[in-house]
Amino acid sequence: MTHAPIPGYHYDDPARPASPVSTGELEQLAAATLFTDADAAALKVAGEVLADQVEQILDVWYGFVGSHGHLLAYFSTPEGTPIGEYLGAVRRRFGQWITDTCTRPYDARWLAQQEEIALRHTAERKNATDGARSVPHVPLRYLIAFIHPITATMRPFLAAKGHPEAEVEAMHQAWFKAVTLQVALWSRPYANAAW
Amino acid sequence: MTHAPIPGYHYDDPARPASPVSTGELEQLAAATLFTDADAAALKVAGEVLADQVEQILDVWYGFVGSHGHLLAYFSTPEGTPIGEYLGAVRRRFGQWITDTCTRPYDARWLAQQEEIALRHTAERKNATDGARSVPHVPLRYLIAFIHPITATMRPFLAAKGHPEAEVEAMHQAWFKAVTLQVALWSRPYANAAW
Ligand code: HEM
Ligand code: HEM
């Protein structure tokens, strides 16, 4: 399948700078979330299960953000007006992230992408990709808080293709670990030396 | 029931300084984890379910930390020798934290306790309570990573008293939210202005 390129998405750009996080640090962090090869395998299946449901998942997540003024604020102007173009541009990359989380190997290139996503939530790089006139950063506490909704809301989508309950549960646990692992990586530029 | 006081545990000390986090900020953060009154009610039941299982839960968690050198390091001397007294002293407060998470109202006093637990993981206050000669801080990334194991390992204990599956699931989701919420709060001194 060929897709139109997604503006601002440069996963496969060989010129992308390496993450300051080493693959050794990633391994130790993954162990702390209990992530194993079995989870990587379960995510592969999840990638197939979710492939044609991405837009519906994004509808749920955008509905959640859109219904909370204090969250929608991060996609809005400093005066509080939601920026439709910004919401739309991020949405495409967010959809691709679901696929990447399930299908990409968690290697040095994946780490480089995690660092980029991290920085795009911070004052260093938020708004730059889309030229958005929005508030300067997403507070770290909300990134961590979202581990719950981004995990919990995924279960019905993982169950939607009729897989046996045990397999759905394995996919869901793998997804939970993958989200936790990524938010832990994204906290790096917020905590610097204490990361 | 009367218990011997736990060294270093000062939840009910009226002289304790207030958290820099307001109850308004807590409400917004809790909303981001989807935490509601129904979760508070489910945690009350969980508190009863878990009351006589705390030591077994701690056995699982300490077993997990103890079996990973890169995690046990934070309970060890800078040279890498685990400090038994330190592990034991923290264990008692960790057990009390399970109870507090289920039974305490999430009010200003609870916020003050969260700030104290946060600081005890950072260079500002780690080791001070127990006079331990250990490494200076717990890296933020591991605090976040532990959201998964601290959530996932809890399920069998919540199911151990024969509650209907739907009620076990409600308790487990409430626990997941409560852990996520607290780690989000504990990230405050790590991120400072970007929190
Ligand atoms: C588990 C938590 C979260 C996940 C998985 C997540 C995921 C993502 C992804 C995949 C992107 C696109 C990155 C790219 O450009 O390729 C993104 C960007 C963005 N996210 Fe998050 N996010 C999370 C938490 C939050 C929260 C809590 C907010 C605030 C309500 C937020 C607001 C934003 C904004 C405003 C952007 C655009 C940043 C820019 O200007 O480039 N995110 N997020
Ligand atoms: C969800 C994640 C975590 C939870 C729920 C948690 C919970 C707690 C609690 C309740 C205490 C006792 C606080 C008190 O003194 O009253 C504590 C202290 C401590 N924790 Fe954590 N913790 C988490 C992550 C970690 C990680 C990843 C490590 C490192 C492997 C760690 C190492 C420690 C240490 C060394 C102390 C003692 C700090 C001191 O010197 O006072 N914790 N933790």
Residue A12 lies in a domain: no
pLDDT confidence tier of residue A2, bands split at 50, 70 and 90: low
Question: Within a domain: residue A9?
Answer: no
> Is A152 part of any domain?
yes
pTM for this structure?
0.98
Rounded Cα distance between B79 and B72, Å, is: 12
The answer as to whether A15 is a domain residue is no
What distance in Å separates the CA atoms of residue A67 and residue A169, rounded to the nearest whole number? 29
Instruction: Tell me if A8 is assigned to some domain.
Output: no
Please identify which residue in the block is written with the tokens 């990586």. Answer: A185
Residue A169 has pLDDT above 90, yes or no: yes
State the distance from the centre of ligand 2 to the C-alpha of B121, rounded, in angstroms: 6
Nearest CA to ligand 1 atom 18: A90
Handedness of CA B90, B96, B15, B24 (dihedral sign): positive
Q: Looking up tokens 């832990």, which residue turns up? A: A184
pLDDT at A183: 99
- Domain enclosing residue B28, as ranges: 23-194
For residue B114, tell me if it sits in a domain. yes
User: Facing residues of B82 across strands?
Assistant: B76
* Residues in chain B within 8 Å Cβ distance of A188: 141
Subunit contact A145:B71, Cβ cutoff 8 A: no
Tens-of-pLDDT digits for all 195 residues of chain B?
456 899 999 999 999 999 999 999 999 999 999 999 999 999 999 999 999 999 999 999 999 999 999 999 999 999 999 999 999 999 999 999 999 999 999 999 999 999 999 999 999 999 999 999 999 999 999 999 999 999 999 999 999 999 999 999 999 999 999 999 999 999 999 999 999
Count of domains for chain A: 1
For testing contact with chain B, the best of A147, A151, A175, A195 (most B CBs within 10 A): A147
Question: Which pLDDT score, from 0 to 100, does residue A4 have?
Answer: 82
Give the CATH number of the domain where residue B105 resides.
1.10.490.10
Of all ligands present, the nearest one to the C-alpha of B138 is 2
Instruction: Please give the DSSP secondary-structure letter assigned to residue A179.
Output: H
- Asked whether residue B13 is domain-assigned, the answer is no
Intra-chain end-to-end CA distance of chain A, in Å: 39
Whole-number Å distance between alpha carbons of A63 and A82: 13
| Cα–Cα dist A178/A184, whole Å | 10
Nearest to A140 among B28, B123, B187 (CB): B187
Residue A4 lies in a domain: no
DSSP for residue B15: T
